[in-house]
Amino acid sequence: QKEVEQNSGPLSVPEGAIASLNCTYSDRGSQSFFWYRQYSGKSPELIMFIYSNGDKEDGRFTAQLNKASQYVSLLIRDSQPSDSATYLCAVKRADSWGKLQFGAGTQVVVTP
Amino acid sequence: DGGITQSPKYLFRKEGQNVTLSCEQNLNHDAMYWYRQDPGQGLRLIYYSQIVNDFQKGDIAEGYSVSREKKESFPLTVTSAQKNPTAFYLCASSIANSNQPQHFGDGTRLSIL
């Protein structure tokens, strides 16, 4: 079992709709969770991070964390063609001073 | 502007050659990291450093070497022992011992001639 798992996609989303991305992790002691967006051929850029159970909203993005079920999700509201990218989930374990474990990413395609 | 600078953007390696990828940051971060990304895959950690003159192997360190002589700089050498070096190499930095996120440079794309 991989430490961080994501559906590879592609996830096809009509423009204006909500994109829902999921990420599960295996280490119950994980404490910090990050979502990065990566355009083709570019480096990852941070979108959001979340530490506590519940929802965290930032503009059109909402991160949701459920530690009991060991999953973190990212919602993208009012999806735009510019949201077409690969979204990487990253998890920091409690025993790790800074090291992140990355999922393989979910490709999102927003269709006009 | 603060950030992470990686150079060169593209690099070609001949058989049996060592090449060095540069990573410089002016974010005053103590921690720096090197990742490798292959097509369609996530990031795999090569080496990381928490402080000057100290570094640790990541998950795929074989065939690579690093140094950390200055806080701002963390160069990665891809040695001839790395038989499949073609990949996208990413350098990142962060505040050490914290929950703060890592920030990435623009990457170096390495290919074999």
Mind listing the pLDDT tens digit for each residue in A75-100?
999 999 999 999 999 999 877 777 89
Q: Which of residues 60-79 of A touch B (CB under 8 A)?
A: none
Cβ atoms within 10 A of the Cβ of B81, count? 11
Q: Which residues of B touch A (CB under 8 A)?
A: 31, 33, 35, 40-45, 48, 50, 58, 90, 94, 96-99, 101-107
Tell me which of A23-37, A93-107, B95-109 is least confident.
A93-107
Q: Which amino acid is at A8?
A: S
Residue B101: cis peptide before it, omega within 30 degrees of 0: no
Contact with chain B for residue A97, Cβ under 8 A: yes
Task: Look at residue B96 in the predicted model and tell me its pLDDT.
Answer: 84
Task: Look at residue A76 in the predicted model and tell me its pLDDT.
Answer: 98
- Would the CB atoms of A99 and B45 count as touching at under 8 Å? yes
- Rounded Cα distance between A62 and A50, Å, is 10
A9: which residues sit within 8 A by CB, 6+ positions away? A106, A107, A108, A109
- Would the CB atoms of B99 and A32 count as touching at under 8 Å? yes
Task: Look at residue A1 in the predicted model and tell me its pLDDT.
Answer: 67
Q: Which strand (E) or helix (H) includes residue B64? A: strand B64-66
B97, B98, B101 ranked by CB distance to A34: nearest: B101
| Closest-CA distance of chain A to residue B95, Å | 8
Pick left, alpha or beta for residue B46 (phi over 0 → left; psi -120 to 50 → alpha; otherwise beta).
Answer: alpha
- CB–CB of A44/A86 below 8 Å? no
Kindly report, residue by residue over B43-53, the tens digit of the pLDDT.
Answer: 999 999 999 99
- CB–CB of A9/A104 below 8 Å? no
Task: Look at residue B1 in the predicted model and tell me its pLDDT.
Answer: 64
